[in-house]
Structure 1
Amino acid sequence: MSKPDVLICGTIVHAHKELDTILGSISNVLQLDSPDRETFLKELGPGGKYSKIKAIYRHNDSASKIGLFDGQLISSLPETLSFICHNGAGYDQIDVEAAKQRGIKVSHTPSAVDDATADTAMFLVLSTLRQYYRAEVNARQGKWKSGLSPAHDPEGKVLGIVGMGGIGGALAKRAKAFDMKILYHNRNPSPKADESFTYVGTLEELLERSDVVSLNLPLNSSTQGSFGEAQFERMKTGSILINTARGGVVDQEALVRALEGGKLSSAGLDVYPDEPNIDARLIAMDQCVLLPHMGTETIETQKKMEVQVFGSIKVALETGTPSYLVKEHK
């Protein structure tokens, strides 16, 4: 019996040995070498070198060559294709509904990114509260503490987490170590949440009670631009927004107005709606802390993500369903 073809759409950086040991013996591993999207679509067709693929390993860096996994690309995938296993917790670059209509199961890597992303969020919480960016600029410019005002301790502050999934839970654990009070809002209370964390049934209540609000929710059609004017109005004057989720969940113009008008004292951002571009108005605000999507930029986490995808593909080939299915496919 011939082994199924698995296509690697993206660069494997750290887990080359694991790719061979996990998938090498049970599949024919093909590397994407199409120079552009048009060529790739042709090579997916009858007689093409990707015409019999069973599973795809996908990383966002493949978009620079073949574009997003949108409806057009999904519709061009061969009939043999059953699984798209994505390297990343967020999967907004994949049209999961189009895949579902074709019977293609999509998975992602939620747990592998939890700690690294939560570390990034906690850094942003501390840096925005303490205004460390302004202080670092002073230090580098030889100004010492000139013009700097006392900032705020994290102890006793209320951190409101929107989305108590893996990343939200890991952030809450870190914030608890700084004696922050944790509120969270989900559709339902999390059975894994520490008993010291307080569940609130509405987003509005969380916003009204929190000193710092962290967004930890996926980007999809229902969350696109969902955090906007009405939500900022509910927040305390002088509060802080942290976003390590996706830039698209926030209404960018409403965010800028909230910062310019003083509703927010600061924002800690790792994600933006038009990456890699960052709004020049945000760059000019030295009270904000801006990172270039550093959430999972560690060797350990990136290797963990690669290995997790290989494992999902292996499980999919053996059982018919990959590990870590996206919620839309459960």
Structure 2
Amino acid sequence: MLQNVFFFFHNKQYLNKLNCLRFFQSLSSNYSSLDNPKSLSFTLRLSLLSSPLIFHRSRSIMTTASPNSTPKPKVLRLGKIRFGQEKWDEVSKYAEVVDCDSANREQFLKDLQGKYSDVTNISRTFESVAQTGRFDEEVAAHVPKTLVSVSHTGAGYDQVDVEPFTKRGIQVSNITVPVEAPTADTAVWLAITCLRNYKVASDLVKQGKWPGQAAAGAKLGHSPEGKVVGIMGMGGIGRAIRDRLKPFGFEKIIYYNRSRLDPKLEAGAEYVSKEELFKQSDIIMISIPLNAHTRHSIDKSAIEQMKDGVILVNTARGAVIKESELPELIKSGKIGALGADVFENEPEIPKELLELPQVVALPHVGTYTSEAIKNMEDWVADNVLSAIKTGKVKSIVPEQKDTKFDVKPLV
């Protein structure tokens, strides 16, 4: 009989599984003291009245330890934690942390309206896109009304379509400071490797040839002196790139940004228009976010405005460049070399592009160090903690800077 009552309540969604168990512990205790099984209905009413219950925003009944306490927020975590468990242990003091076990996107969408229908915060890694797909309009339409924030573990958040979440009053956060240094290190390594022609030289040595001999087929590289570096995008990563370039002795560093930086932040870099940056630069470092405005913004028409033999370095997102046009531009000599840590359809890269000796390719490892990953995992945990404690994430995405959210602390 008790099983039948449990089935009734569970299907009617009056109680979630955890609260059903708490409720029936109370019910069983009262029922065991009765001699007459017909008194079950009385016992049921008695238990409902005596068990401390409250209504949560998700419209499910939640059991609390005392009349003055509130249920813990629930955090849904997408993707594995490698080095930041200590910080996540702190999150667990304030919230119930649940690792997503949805098998695929279809199941994930169902679970958002099922077992995850009371989550208040979601954290996601870059790799979790393989499990859930992009966080787009469809996902936003399925998330529960209890959801306050989505925290992405990365600087680039093109996997999250911010607008539909903004419309639903859900904050979106990304990673800022922890990604700046490791990404800038990678960008500068790619720039110098391309400039000095190190990759071709290394490949020839592995083939048993000595690059210094003309017959080996290695062309001479170039020195930084007299060269102009243009940085597209002067956010935290762009400024970290600038700082790392200075010791190499380039003639000057110029930059293009949506707006000019405060002179104190420029630190010697010169602000120019995008067209002027294309015209002056020997090396162009791309450090802009991927969005509807920047997708394929570096295409053949843009590259034709650049110097012959220009070196392109991309550590932003692959789709900022129109990848399909690159092989022809490299073969013609318009692009002298390409250094890329990102590609348009990762991990798929056109064979025609990879076979070119002027291409230095990395598999999106800009932040792939144990230290960087730990710092990023700690940062996203702090975003979740901030949303729980204050109602506001720590590092909200630029599109939501001026948005007013009607949220309050969850604890």
Could you state the TM-score of these two structures normalised by the residue count of structure 2? 0.78
Q: Distance in 1 between matches of 2:122 and 2:388?
A: 11
Aligned match for 1:262, one of 299, 311, 333: 333
Which has the higher Rg, Structure 1 or Structure 2? 2
Q: Distance in 2 between matches of 1:324 and 1:28?
A: 22
Aligned match for 1:103, one of 144, 153, 169: 169
Deviation of 1:52 (Å): 0.7
Q: Which moved more, 1:119-128 or 1:140-149?
A: 140-149
Deviation of 1:49 (Å): 2.1
Q: Are 2:74 and 1:5 equivalent residues in the alignment?
A: yes
- The runs of 5 or more residues in structure 1 that have no matched partner are none
Aligned match for 1:131, one of 197, 208, 219: 197
Aligned match for 2:143, one of 44, 61, 77: 77
Deviation of 1:257 (Å): 2.5
> For residues 49-128 of structure 1, what are the structure 2 equivalents within 5 Å?
49-128=115-194
What letter corresponds to residue 300 of structure 1 in structure 2? E
Q: Distance in 2 between matches of 1:91 and 1:329?
A: 13
What letter corresponds to residue 223 of structure 2 in structure 1? D
Deviation of 1:289 (Å): 0.7
How much is the aligned-residue C-alpha RMSD, in angstroms? 1.1
Q: Are 2:315 and 1:244 equivalent residues in the alignment?
A: yes
- 1:74 alignment partner, SS class: helix
Deviation of 1:156 (Å): 2.9
Q: Distance in 2 between matches of 1:40 and 1:138?
A: 49
Question: Which residue in the other structure is 2:229 paired with?
Answer: 159
Q: Is the 8 A contact 2:326 2:353 kept in 1?
A: no
Q: Are 2:144 and 1:144 equivalent residues in the alignment?
A: no
Q: Distance in 1 between matches of 2:219 and 2:101?
A: 54
Deviation of 1:211 (Å): 0.3
Question: Which residue in the other structure is 1:298 paired with?
Answer: 369
- 1:40 alignment partner, SS class: helix
Question: Which residue in the other structure is 2:345 paired with?
Answer: 274
**Which structure has the higher relative contact order (CA within 8 Å, separation 6+)?**
1
Aligned match for 2:92, one of 9, 14, 24: 24
Q: Which moved more, 1:172-181 or 1:32-41?
A: 32-41
Aligned match for 1:182, one of 253, 257, 265: 253
Could you state the TM-score of these two structures normalised by the residue count of structure 1? 0.96
Question: Which residue in the other structure is 2:84 paired with?
Answer: 15
- The runs of 5 or more residues in structure 2 that have no matched partner are 1-69, 402-411
Deviation of 1:116 (Å): 0.5
Question: Cα deviation per residue 1:17-65 (whole Å; 9 max; x = unaligned)?
Answer: 22102x01111111111112222222211xx221110000111221222
Q: Distance in 2 between matches of 1:163 and 1:98?
A: 26
Q: Distance in 1 between matches of 2:358 and 2:104?
A: 41
Question: Cα deviation per residue 1:148-201 (whole Å; 9 max; x = unaligned)?
Answer: 22210123311100000011100010111101221001122222534421111x
Question: Cα deviation per residue 1:90-141 (whole Å; 9 max; x = unaligned)?
Answer: 1111111111111111000022100000000000000000111101111111
Question: Cα deviation per residue 1:219-276 (whole Å; 9 max; x = unaligned)?
Answer: 0011111111221011111111110000111112332222121111111011111100
Give me the identity figure in percent: 42
